[in-house]
Each structure stands twice: as C-alpha cells, then as structure tokens.
Amino acid sequence: MSEPIRVAVVGASGRMGATVCAAVEHAEDMTLTARLDVGDDLGAVRDADVAVDFTVPSATEANVHALLDAGVHVVVGTTGWTEESLGRVREHLTRAPGSGVVIAPNFALSAVLAMTFARQAARYFESAEVVELHHPRKVDAPSGTAVHTAQGIAAARREAGLGPAPDATESQLDGARGAVVDGVHVHAVRLQGLVAHEEILLGNPGESLTLRTDSYDRGSFMPGVLLAVREVRQRPGLTVGLEHLLDLG
C-alpha cells in the first residue's frame, strides 16, 4: 500500500473541522498530522500533504494564502468566496505551480446533484428562485451553496437568452423578496433543528419543478471532503465546486 496522505485540519475545533478530523482518522489511506484552530501557527501544516479549511468567511482567504506559502495543497469548505477573492488565489497559484486548491461550497452528493440538475433545468423555465434553510448558528447568509446554485441558474438562463423572471412586485417590506444573486432571488431561513437544506423552485405557466436537498447530519459532507483530499494533489490550480471531481461540471 502507498504512503498515507498526511492531512492537517484548520478550524479543527468547529462543527465541520471536528467531523473532518474524525473522518480522516477513520480513513485507511490518510493520517491526521495537525488540528489547528484560531490563534495557532499555520506553519504547523508543513508536515502535511493537504490542509483542509473549515473556518469562517472572514478568515478563509488569508488561510489559503498562508497554506499555499507553507507548501501544501488545500481543500476548502468555508463559504464567503467572491470572484475577487477567487481571483487572488488563482494569481497566487501562478507562483506555486503544481499546487492545487479545491474550494467547494457544498461537499454533499445530494447538494452537488441538485445544483447540477438545477443548471440543466433552468433554461426551460420562466421563473427560478432558491430557498436555503440552515441551523441558527450559521454566521453567513445566503449560504455559499445558494449563491453557487443561483450563479449556475443565472449562467444557464443567460446562455438560453432568457430575460428576467416575471415579477410584478411594486412595493415590499425590506428583504421580503430575498437577496438577488445574479438576478436570481435567494431566500434564507434559520431554524432550530435544521442542519443544511435547499429548495430550488422552477416555474412555468401551469407547472413547477422543485428540487430539494437535505443534509440531516454533517457526515453527509465527509465522502466529498475525502474525495477532494485524494484528488487535489493531481489537480494543480484552482477548482471551484465538487461537480468537477464527479465529472458533472
């Protein structure tokens, strides 16, 4: 058997970080070399092949730059990425040839498939809106998954030459129609008892299609995280979205 992949986890004390540490420890082809959290020196990842970041949107970009400087490949589940911050990582990677970074807003298979199906279906519907529903300890809204979903729908609508979805709203309470991501309305629910859920609503006169994904447990994200840890070393440059590792992109 080949040498185990050495993995460091950043954000290791958090809900996702702790779950990733346990998953890595149970994976026969991996060994956990470092559990790091806020205030720890990220230079400690130097013994690792791959670092996994599940931290907070305000810290993740700086972490990725520091991890690349430390010479490791990086898998990121933290949300909050923008075209600008992704661009800065791409630029950094030009100075770190051979290094790979995989950033995915959602590592659950059901969510990745729902986003893929939504992109495929979007061109056939006049209307599309996204509703994301999460646990109340989540710090960002809308979810990274909902932003990625809306961007995929918007790209498909543009390619199909569709204009704005019909909407006669003239007056509204602030926020009643949600946030608008690339022209797609996105609504965020925070509810005790939930983990991570999303509904994608597509409508035509007389019919609608609803796609729904539910993560009831953080274990649902682990096969995708471990897949990214295994693949990132063979994928130099920046990959955004797990769909590309599943041949769905």
Verify binding: residue 54, ligand NAD, rule CB under 6 A.
yes
Closest CA to 152 of 119, 105, 114, 110: 119
Joined together, the tokens standing for residue 142 give 């809308």
| DSSP string of 171-213, one letter each residue | ---TTTT-EEETTEEEEEEE-TT--EEEEEEEEETTEEEEEEE
By a kind-dependent CB cut-off of 5 to 8 A, residue 17 interacts, out of ligand NAD, ligand LLHOTIJI, none, with ligand NAD
Joined together, the tokens standing for residue 91 give 């630029």
187 in catalytic set? no
In the bound complex, which residue of the shown chain has the CB atom lying closest to ligand NAD?
A: 14
Binding mask 111-140 for ligand LLHOTIJI (x = CB under 6 A): -----------------------x---x--
Joined together, the tokens standing for residue 63 give 């972490």
Query: 96: number of CA atoms within 13 Å, CB side?
Result: 25
Q: What is the 3-state secondary structure (H, E, C) of 49-76?
A: CEEEECCCHHHHHHHHHHHHHCCCEEEE
Among 60, 145, 151, 213, binds ligand LLHOTIJI (CB under 6 A): 145
Query: 97-156: which residues touch ligand NAD (CB under 6 A)?
Result: 104-107, 144
Verify binding: residue 22, ligand NAD, rule CB under 6 A.
no
Q: Which is nearer to ligand LLHOTIJI, 76 or 89 (CB)?
A: 76
Contacting residues toward ligand NAD, per CB under 6 A:
10-11, 13-17, 36-38, 54-57, 59, 63, 77-79, 104-107, 144, 221
Q: Residues forming the annotated binding site for (S)-2,3,4,5-tetrahydrodipicolinate?
A: 135, 144-145
